[in-house]
Structure 1
Amino acid sequence: MKLLIYGLNYAPELTGTGKYTAEMAEMLASRGHEVRVVCAPPYYPAWRVAAGWSAWRYARELRGGVAVRRAPLWVPSHPGGATRVAHLASFALTSMLPVLAQWRWRPDIVMSIAPTLLCAPAALTLARATGAKSWLHVQDFEVDAAFGLGLLEQRYAERAAHAFERAVLHRFDIVSSISERMVQKLSALGVDPSRALCLPNWVDVEAIHPLDRASAYRRELSIGEHDKVVLYAGNMGAKQGLEHVLTAAALLESRADIRFVFCGDGLWRQTLARECERLTNCVMIGLQPAERLNELLNLADIHVLPQRADAADLVMPSKLTGMMASGRAIVAMAREGTQLCEALAGRGAVVQPENGAALAFAIETLADDEVMRARLGQAARHYAVTALSPAAIMTKLEATLQACRDATYRQEPARP
C-alpha cells in the first residue's frame, strides 16, 4: 500500500503530534508499506527551528524507512492569534508543491494530520486528482482551542473558522481522532458516524516500564532517597495550566520531602524558570534525549497533568500514555465526564481544572500514602499494556487503511 502522510510536525520532535506521526509512519513502513511524509522542519515545542535544520529550504531525507520531504515555514518567536495563523498558513502554502508533486507517485491513501486543517485542501486535491482515499486524523481541535484559549477572539473569525472546519471534515473519506469523546465531537460537527474512527495514541510498553531501582535522575538532581518527586514532563505552553502546579508547589513549600521537577520546553519556559527560582522545592531541566525517557518518567513518584479549564474538554493529552506505562501515580486536572477523567477512573487522582489548592491537596495525599500510589500506578500500567500497545492499535489501523483503500470500510454507528 502507498500511504502519504501530510502534517506539520514530525520527528525528531520529541513531544506532541510529531512524535506519534513519526512512530505511525515508521511502524507502517516496517510492516511493508510504502510510506512518504510531507512535513516541516522540527521546531516544536521550543518554537524555533532546531539546530542543523533550515526554516527556509526544502529538504529530503530517509528516516526510519520513510521518505520525508520537509517544506519551509515561518516560526514566530512569540506566537499569538494572528502570528500563529500566519505560521500555519506559511506551511500550508509552501507544502502544496511537494504534496501535489505526489500525483506522479499516485498514493493509495492521503492522510492529513490536524493540526493543521489549513493543509486539508491540498490533501483533498491530491486525493481527488489521483483517485486516492482521503483520511483526516485529528490530534487536537485547533479551532476550539484557539478561541477557547483566547488566541483568537473576533466573533466573525470564529464563525468563519468553524464553517471552514465543518466543510473540511465533510470531505474526507475517514475522519479519526484519539479518544471516544473526540470522535463524538466529530459527529457533533457533522461527520457521519460511519466515517468516524477512534484511533488512540499508543505507548511502547516495553520501552516505557517501571524500573526496579531508583531513577538515575535522582542522583543527578541531588534528590534525597526518601523525597517524593512530583514530575511534569512535556510542552510548556499556554494550555498546559502550569501556573496551577506552581500554586501547588508554593502551598507545599514547607514540605521538605516533596520536590517538584519540571522538564520540557515551550513558550512558557522562561516564565516558569523565573517562578521556580523563587521556590525552594522546584527544579527545572530541559528536554531530555529520547533514549532517557523511561529513566525520566521513573523519576516520578507522582506525575502531574495540569490543564486550563478552557482547554480541558478540547484535548486528550498525548503525554498521558507514557505516564500510565511508567506505572507511577498520576494526578490530573479534568472536568467530570471528560475522556481524561474517565481514562483515569481507578487509575489516577482527578481534580477540577484551575484549582491549585485542590491539586496541592491531592499531591500531598498521595505523597503520604505509598499503598495508594502503588495501587494507582499498577492500574494505570495495566491499562497501558492492555489498551494502548502499538501492536494492537497498528493492527486496527492497518486493517482500516486496507478497507479504506478497497472502499469497504464502514464503521458501525455507536449505540445510544
Structure 2
Amino acid sequence: MKITIIGHNYFPEDSGIGLYTTGMAEFLALKHEVTIITGVPYYPQWKVHAEYANSPLFSKETINHVTVYRFKQYTPAKPTFFKRVLQMVHFLMGSVVNVLKIKKSDVIIVVMPFTVSIILGWFLKICKGGMFWIHIQDFEFDAALKTKVPSKHQITSKILFQIEKWTLNRADFNSTISKGMMIKLAHKSSVDSIYFPNWIDYSIINPENVQEHKAFSSTTFNILYSGNIGEKQDWDFYMAFVTAMQMHPEFHFYLVGEGAKREEIVQQLQSLGNFTYCPPVPYNQLNDLLCQADVHVLFQKPEFKDLVMPSKILGMMASAKPSIVTGHEDSEIKNNFEHSQGGGYFHENSIETVKQVLLQLKENPEIAKSMGLRARQYVVENFALESVLPQFEQDLIKKSKQFY
C-alpha cells in the first residue's frame, strides 16, 4: 500500500509523540511505501534542533525507507496556549504545499495533535482519494483548557472544539492509545474507532543490558522523573515533596527532561541538596538512566484523566524498577498498577503516604525488586512492540479492504 502519514513530530525527536510516529512509519515501511508530512524537530526543548536550524522552509529526506517532507514551522521558545495555536496554524498553512506533492495514497494517517492537521488529511483524501485514518495521541484542546486559558478566550475555545468535532468526523476510521480515551473519543465522533496503544521495545529498555550512568550517586536512594516537564504533571506537589524530604538526606531526586515548566521548577529546587536537574538524555542512553534509578515517580494532575496517556509509564515499568504514581482515582494507569502490582498508585497527594512507601522500598530491597520485575512482565505481556505494531498493520489492511 501507499501510506501517507501527517504528523507534526517526527525523527530525530526521540521522545513523546515523535518517537511513536517514527516507530509506526518505519515499521509500516518494511512492507509498504510510506511518506510522512511533518515539521522540523523542536521537542522537548521547544527550540528547533541544531541540525535543522538553517534548513530551508521546505525540505525532503529519506530516512530508513520513509520519504520525509518537512515544513519549517514557527516554534515559540515559551509556549502559551495561543502561541501553540499559532504554531498549529502555521504548520497547517505551510504543509498544504507538501500535501500537494503526494501523487497517490491508499491510506492517509493523521497523528493528532495537531488537530488542525486533520484538515490536511481530509484535503488529501478529497484531492487524491484513499482511506482516511486519524490516530489520537492527545486530546490537545481539552488538555489546553485544563491549564491557564483566560476567560476572555472562552469563545475561541468553543470554536476550537467545534473544529475538533467536525474534523474528527471526517475520518473513515479513528484510533487512540487508551481505553479511557476511546470512551472520550466516542463522545466526540461517530466514526468507528480502534484501540491502538503505544508500545515498548523491551529489548532496548532492558535491565540486563544496562551500563553505569554517570547521573546518579552511588551513596543515595535515587528517585527519578524522566520526561516532559509540562503542564500535565503536578509540579506543585513534586516541589513540595522534594522540599519536605530534605530531612531524609539518604534520598535524592533527579529531574531529567525539558519542557515549559522546567525553568520554574529548577529555579525553586536547585538550591536544595537533595535535588539534581539533568537535561534530556539521548534515546540510546535512556535504558541506562531508567534502569539505574531506584524508584520512578510520576505525579499527575487528576483533571487530565482520559485526555492523555503518559507513554513514559511503559519505559518506567519496563526498567524493572518500582514506580510511585499519583492521579485520578479512576485512571487507567491505576488499573495498570493494580493488575501488575509493579508499584504504588495513589489518588491523593499525600507527602506522608509517598514518603512511607519510599522508606519501605529502601528498607526492603527484595520487595522493590519483586515489584519492578512484575512491572516489566506486565508491559512485556501487554505492550510489546512485536504485538502492538503488527496488530495495527493488520487492522489497517483489514479496514482498507473494507473501504475499497
Aligned length: 400
Q: Secondary structure at the match of 1:135?
A: strand
| Aligned match of 2:134 | 136
| Aligned match of 1:121 | 119
Among candidates 308, 326, 332, match of residue 325 of structure 2: 332
Structure 1 contact 276–282 (Cα < 8 Å) conserved = yes
CA-atom RMSD in angstroms: 1.9
Among candidates 192, 202, 206, match of residue 209 of structure 1: 206
Identity of aligned residues (%): 29
Q: Secondary structure at the match of 2:49?
A: coil
Structure 2 contact 2–106 (Cα < 8 Å) conserved = yes
| Aligned match of 1:413 | none
Tell me the amino acid that sits aligned with residue 204 of structure 2.
Answer: A
| Aligned match of 2:163 | 164
| Aligned match of 1:395 | 390
Q: Secondary structure at the match of 2:110?
A: strand
Take 1:165 and 1:318, find their aligned partners in 2: how far apart are those partners? 23
Post-superposition Cα deviations, 1:134-156, rounded to whole Å, max 9, x if no partner, equal 00000000111011122464332
Take 2:50 and 2:58, find their aligned partners in 1: how far apart are those partners? 16
| Aligned match of 1:97 | 97
| Aligned match of 1:229 | 222
Post-superposition Cα deviations, 1:179-222, rounded to whole Å, max 9, x if no partner, equal 11111111122334xx1111010010111112387x512xx246
Structure 2 contact 229–261 (Cα < 8 Å) conserved = yes
Structure 1 contact 35–67 (Cα < 8 Å) conserved = yes
Q: Secondary structure at the match of 1:134?
A: strand
Among candidates 377, 381, 386, match of residue 382 of structure 1: 377
Structure 2 contact 174–193 (Cα < 8 Å) conserved = yes
| Aligned match of 1:190 | 189
Tell me the amino acid that sits aligned with residue 12 of structure 1.
Answer: P
Structure 1 contact 137–176 (Cα < 8 Å) conserved = yes
Q: Secondary structure at the match of 1:208?
A: coil
C-alpha deviation, 1:56, in angstroms: 5.7
Take 2:64 and 2:237, find their aligned partners in 1: how far apart are those partners? 39
Take 1:370 and 1:135, find their aligned partners in 2: how far apart are those partners? 47
Among candidates 341, 345, 349, match of residue 350 of structure 1: 345
| Aligned match of 1:25 | 25
Take 2:205 and 2:158, find their aligned partners in 1: how far apart are those partners? 43
Structure 1 contact 309–354 (Cα < 8 Å) conserved = no
C-alpha deviation, 1:53, in angstroms: 0.4
Q: Which moved more, 1:40-49 or 1:247-256?
A: 247-256
Take 2:239 and 2:333, find their aligned partners in 1: how far apart are those partners? 22
Post-superposition Cα deviations, 1:26-79, rounded to whole Å, max 9, x if no partner, equal 11112x211111111110111110102037611111112211111121111221
C-alpha deviation, 1:362, in angstroms: 3.4
Tell me the amino acid that sits aligned with residue 202 of structure 2.
Answer: V
- List gaps (5 residues or longer) in structure 2: none
Asked if residue 52 in structure 1 is aligned to residue 47 in structure 2, the reply is no
Tell me the amino acid that sits aligned with residue 404 of structure 1.
Answer: K
Q: How does 1:265-276 map to 2 (within 5 A)?
A: 265-276=258-269
1:354–1:86 CA distance, 2 compared to 1 (3 A): farther
1:98–1:287 CA distance, 2 compared to 1 (3 A): same
Structure 1 contact 112–123 (Cα < 8 Å) conserved = yes
- List gaps (5 residues or longer) in structure 1: 410-416
Take 1:44 and 1:13, find their aligned partners in 2: how far apart are those partners? 6
Take 1:99 and 1:402, find their aligned partners in 2: how far apart are those partners? 23
Structure 1 contact 149–310 (Cα < 8 Å) conserved = no
Q: Secondary structure at the match of 1:136?
A: strand
Take 2:58 and 2:312, find their aligned partners in 1: how far apart are those partners? 30
| Aligned match of 1:79 | 79
C-alpha deviation, 1:236, in angstroms: 1.2
1:157–1:115 CA distance, 2 compared to 1 (3 A): same
Take 2:21 and 2:348, find their aligned partners in 1: how far apart are those partners? 28
Structure 1 contact 149–311 (Cα < 8 Å) conserved = no
Take 1:212 and 1:406, find their aligned partners in 2: how far apart are those partners? 42
| Aligned match of 2:144 | 146
Take 1:74 and 1:314, find their aligned partners in 2: how far apart are those partners? 25
